[in-house]
Chains A and B, each alone.
Chain A
Amino acid sequence: MAGPSLMDSLFQRSLDDIIKGLRLTPPGTESTFIGKSLNEIRREIKSTDPATKATALQKLTYLHSLHGADMSWAAFHSVELSSSAAHSHKRIAFLSASLSFNPNTTEVILLLTHQLRKDLSSSNIHDVSLALSTLSSICNPDLARDLTPEVFTLLSSCKVFVRKKAIATVLRIFEQYPDAVRVCFKRIVENLENVDMGVLSTVVGLFCELTEKEPRSYLPLAPEFYKILVDCRNNWVLIKVLKIFAKLVPLEPRLGKRVVEPISEHLGRTGAKSLAFECVRTIVTSLSEYDNAVKLAVGKILELLLDDDPNLKYLGLQALAIVAQKNIWAVLENKELVVKALSDVDVNIKLEALRLVMSMVSEDNVMEICRILISQALKSDPEFCNEILGFILLTCARNFYEVIFYFDWYVTFLGEMARIPHCQKGEEIENQLVDIGLRVKDARPQLVHVARDLVIDPALFGNPFMHRVLAAAAWISGEYIELSRNPFEVMEALLQPRTSLLSPFVRAVYIQSAFKVLTFCLSSYLKLTGDNASYPSPLTDSVPKTNNEGSLDTVACQSLSETELDNQNMVVTDGQTPFASLGTSHLTEESIVALVNLVETNLGPLAGSSEVEVQERASNVLGLIKLIKPKLHDCLDQSEGDKMKVEPNASEMVQVIFDAFSEDLGPVSLNAQERVPIPDGLVLKENLGDLEEVCGDMKLPLSTSFSLVKPHMVDATSIPEWQSKEESEPSNESTSLLAEHRKRHGLYYLSSENKGMISNDYPAAHDPKDKAVDETEDLVKLTGESLIIKRKPNHVKPRPVVVKLDDGEGVNVALKAAEVKADLISGAVQEVLFGNEATTSSRRKSSKKSSKQREVDELNVPVPESKNSTMETDKSGVGFGGSGRRKHHSHGKERKHRNSGKDKEHDKKDKQKSNHGDGKHKSQQRADGDLAVQSPVIPDFLL
């Protein structure tokens, strides 16, 4: 690459040329153009001519900030150019620095220190202003430390323009170098009384940011803020002051009484929406116990909700959500508006409304709200539909289903939710179905019924989002098979041909469930024959009588044959063997043999599956069948008397397996493992350190319920995005298949009327009628009565028990004892405010213990008890303020004494920071001196 030459300077392309060139390049070739320009710039920027250099740097800044080109390599050139005498060059250099320097990684920042210092003390206010702007964007601890004295001087500059910039910059300096607070804080506080609105606005803005982080330290300044709140008429300033009070009031109840009046006044007076909204927000967040103010605020919120401006509507809903936490009546009063907002055109507004609706949910209205929301979901776009479903699932499952009283209703509801065409919440529904199965014993019969409906429906296989739900349904069908009305039917559903559409892991669950069903049937049969009794069947005894036994009476016998088997996934369904329905007739040898054959023929081919999980489970089942089958045939061949002799082996075995399966599974706490004591002599950590790297990024799932399917495996197989096109095709196919299936096995489908009979007095999760309700007005009407909190309805039966583990498993995201991390800034602020100049940061940093020790020592010094306890509320925050206050009330003499005692330390500190020069030392001394006089007269507003 040629060095910079005169030609470069003469024929340098200007910024305009670059911009024009970029605009003319055909789309797609911009990066080549930029690359070419960057090469030019690299050459030009080395030029000794400042004008050439400046133009190159400006072009580079343009490409960096708007086209994302890297310019970290040019950092040094920015520094170099910043020392130029010409303001125009300086401006370009500082702009590039503030846009491209990263305070943490750019090393040459330190080279800028000297130039910044020079410019900060320049007589040209524009240079000063440039330096301040730059400092505020690239400030790092070193810069902050080194430039504190200069900024401190500017804090009292007579030029308002400079002073307010200095004040704003101080925020960054405090963040990077908390010790600066000791130097600058007093001057900043003085600026609170400045009459210039610009200065006042920046000071208040600074305090607003500071209070955000640690409000307690700024309580003593409440009188100053109060004065501004009452006297000031500038909206920018008032908004910030209100924000400060929103943070301070919760800490000092007496403050609330004083400010509620002026804030309400502002709210009533102002025409500015921004200020009015800030008043509302302050009232509802921090003054919620002042009824009059809250009423006023709610009135204002209503105005916002009724406004046509979507911004105000959105903010109104947000404010209402804050009110809802303490004054739920305000939401109930405005419920029509909230429900109406659910069908707004704006997704953000809809979401806010949804959050609000969910905040209203209680045990009494959960069914109605869910019904309304589901009907809303049905007519929403897929994305919002899933938002709604997600919210419903989250709210209903909150705190172990605390709002759910009728679990039968809820599980039916979950089943219907899964069938909503847009539903993508399969995983969550899966978790909840299984979780309820484990936790709520009373819900199991209905759960089994819901699961049966899901498993048996071949149309559902087409939707990949359904697979997780189906896994849960299959698992439930297998686990609680003894509650099923017709195990044969379930078995057939579990083995139906369309299961080949499932991912291997869901399929494995299906096979495992089939295994459970088979074991159950065999064991029931063996018990039956073992007892040598035909009536009544032990199986029918074990099944709880359900109210629709009658319907099963009509079920005709279905025949089955074991021979017609040509396709590996074909369920062979038409044959001669009678397949008894269990509800009424007892188990026969024929039906059992048919069942075994059915399983064998369907799972046989799967034993050679390439999927390990599927293969293994299938082999398990086949292994059992292999053992059982000869015995069964023997039974059939032999006479009644001999049967007893042959069977014990098989029956024993089946019984053992059945017992293993019938053991009740319970929820397991995530913390369970931790509670197992480690046996002596067991070394757990040895040689496993290396594994950390491998397993580092694996995280335990947070949910306490478990999943049947390994999540990452499913991701790989299921279609990641909702693709309606892809989905519609198989669903068409599946409906035709379903029709076929129905035709052939009509008897296995319960007639639709049954549903109504079963879910007796619970309202259907979503009425088909609701789909017709399209108008919001209707919806509002619909909700009119339902959202009113009713007195507890007379619950006929007690709420089912939800199994919770003893140790509050939900709270396992342990609220680790909030680490009281001493905020360095606020610590320093407290010291300044309470006049405690003795505590140096080095001491605080060095060791907490020693400083504590010192505090104890100081306590021994007889201290005149504070006659006016300025900060009663501060007692809780003694960690910060306590010692400071004590010192503040102690005699100046004593302080002096301590000071002299610590002179050494002071000296050491000053030496360490020798690059501050004398200015810093002096100014610190001065500030200290002032404080000594000033601190005792900090007015006590709280009295």
Chain B
Amino acid sequence: MIHFVVLISRQGKVRLTKWYSPYSQKERAKVIRELSGMILTRGPKLCNFVEWRGYKVVYKRYASLYFCMCIDQDDNELEILEIIHHYVEILDRYFGSVCELDLIFNFHKAYYILDEILIAGELQESSKKTVARLVAAQDSLVEAAKEQASSISNMIAQATK
């Protein structure tokens, strides 16, 4: 199973962390430090797997972002690479040629999309279309709620003027 997913920028900035196994806040910081030290220093044409504390970390670089997933020793590395690619494609489709800034300003959306792809450290949906449809449906729910809220705050704002 996947123990965690981490997105790190080339400068070592964390863009997303999702933990499927329990790690304390302290351990999380340590893990990220260790991994960015190991992965960011690796050259471009090397293999995408590193061994780490008895686990394997599969990473792939897309533009300036490193997508890293930590898995058990006998999990299938190539499958994880495909999952990473799957995630990137869905992000790409959702944001329209995604870039790092999209993920920075919409970090919660990146989480919601990831939640539709992975659950409890397992792949749950391999169809890009389905994921896109679900996320869109959730967004429309949110939009509806937002409209309502914004109208109220508008009213208050006007009242206090």
Contact A198 B142 (CB under 8 A): no
Q: Which of A148-169 contact B (CB under 8 A)?
A: 161, 164-165, 168-169
CB-CB under 8 A from A87, the residues of chain B are: 138, 141-142, 145
Give the contacting residue for B112; candidates A95, A103, A273; CB below 8 A.
A95
Give the segment of A307-315, A534-542, A765-773 that binds chain B.
A307-315
A104 and B21 alpha carbons, distance in the complex (Å) = 12
A513 within 8 A of B: no
- The chain B residue sitting closest to A314, CB to CB, is B47
A895 nearest CB across to chain B (Å)? 35
- The chain A residue sitting closest to B28, CB to CB, is A68
Contact B124 A202 (CB under 8 A): yes
**Digit string of A43-65 for contact with B (CB within 8 Å is 1, else 0)?**
00000000100000010011001
B15 within 8 A of A: yes
Contact A51 B127 (CB under 8 A): no
A485 within 8 A of B: no
CB-CB under 8 A from B138, the residues of chain A are: 87, 91, 126
Give the contacting residue for B105; candidates A19, A136, A137, A349; CB below 8 A.
A19
Give the contacting residue for A168; candidates B19, B78, B119, B137; CB below 8 A.
B119
CB-CB under 8 A from A212, the residues of chain B are: 72
Q: Which of B120-142 contact A (CB under 8 A)?
A: 120, 122-127, 130, 134, 137-138, 141-142
Contact B122 A66 (CB under 8 A): no
A19-B104, A315-B78, A348-B49 known; A201 and B160 CB under 8 Å?
no
Give the contacting residue for A9; candidates B17, B108, B142, B153; CB below 8 A.
B153
Give the contacting residue for B45; candidates A9, A169, A274, A345; CB below 8 A.
A345
Give the contacting residue for B20; candidates A10, A102, A137, A202; CB below 8 A.
A137
A748 nearest CB across to chain B (Å)? 48
Contact B50 A348 (CB under 8 A): yes
Contact B107 A136 (CB under 8 A): no
A133 within 8 A of B: yes
Contact A86 B78 (CB under 8 A): no
CB-CB under 8 A from A51, the residues of chain B are: 149, 153
Of the listed residues A92, A104, A161, the one surrounded by the most CB atoms of chain B closer than 10 A to its CB is: A161
Give the contacting residue for B22; candidates A88, A103, A132; CB below 8 A.
A103
B93 within 8 A of A: no
Contact B120 A198 (CB under 8 A): no
Of the listed residues A6, A66, A171, A277, the one surrounded by the most CB atoms of chain B closer than 10 A to its CB is: A66
A10 and B155 alpha carbons, distance in the complex (Å) = 12
A104-B22, A243-B74, A345-B43 known; A205 and B122 CB under 8 Å?
yes
A95-B111, A165-B119 known; A10 and B156 CB under 8 Å?
yes
CB-CB under 8 A from A246, the residues of chain B are: 74
Give the contacting residue for A277; candidates B50, B76, B107, B149; CB below 8 A.
B76
Contact A88 B47 (CB under 8 A): no
**Digit string of B43-77 for contact with A (CB within 8 Å is 1, else 0)?**
10111111100000000000000000000101011
Give the contacting residue for A274; candidates B29, B48, B76, B111; CB below 8 A.
B76
B159 nearest CB across to chain A (Å)? 10
Contact B120 A66 (CB under 8 A): no
A19-B104, A95-B108 known; A278 and B124 CB under 8 Å?
no
Contact B28 A273 (CB under 8 A): no
Contact B127 A236 (CB under 8 A): no
Q: Which of A80-94 contact B (CB under 8 A)?
A: 86-89, 91-92
Contact B160 A274 (CB under 8 A): no
A820 and B120 alpha carbons, distance in the complex (Å) = 28
A403 within 8 A of B: no
CB-CB under 8 A from A164, the residues of chain B are: 124-125
CB-CB under 8 A from B29, the residues of chain A are: 68
Contact B79 A274 (CB under 8 A): yes
Contact A6 B78 (CB under 8 A): no
Give the contacting residue for B78; candidates A15, A89, A137, A274; CB below 8 A.
A274
A660 and B84 alpha carbons, distance in the complex (Å) = 69
Q: Which of B8-41 contact A (CB under 8 A)?
A: 14-20, 22, 24-25, 28-29
A246 and B75 alpha carbons, distance in the complex (Å) = 12
A346 within 8 A of B: yes
B89 nearest CB across to chain A (Å)? 15
CB-CB under 8 A from A6, the residues of chain B are: 156, 160
A274 and B124 alpha carbons, distance in the complex (Å) = 18
Contact A91 B124 (CB under 8 A): no
B88 within 8 A of A: no
A205 and B14 alpha carbons, distance in the complex (Å) = 29
B107 nearest CB across to chain A (Å)? 6
CB-CB under 8 A from A65, the residues of chain B are: 16-17, 107
A95 and B50 alpha carbons, distance in the complex (Å) = 30
Contact B124 A315 (CB under 8 A): no
CB-CB under 8 A from A88, the residues of chain B are: 141-142, 145-146, 149
Contact A168 B142 (CB under 8 A): no
CB-CB under 8 A from A169, the residues of chain B are: 119-120
A66 and B110 alpha carbons, distance in the complex (Å) = 13
CB-CB under 8 A from A693, the residues of chain B are: none
A68-B25, A68-B29 known; A198 and B124 CB under 8 Å?
yes
A865 within 8 A of B: no
**9 A-B interface contacts by CB (under 8 A):** A6-B156, A51-B149, A65-B17, A68-B28, A86-B148, A126-B137, A209-B1, A209-B122, A348-B51
16 additional contacts (CB under 8 A) given A168-B120, A169-B119, A236-B126: A65-B107, A66-B16, A70-B25, A137-B19, A165-B119, A169-B120, A198-B126, A205-B123, A206-B122, A239-B76, A239-B79, A277-B78, A281-B76, A311-B47, A311-B48, A311-B77
Interface pairs A-B: 5 shortest CB-CB: A274-B78, A310-B47, A88-B142, A86-B145, A136-B120
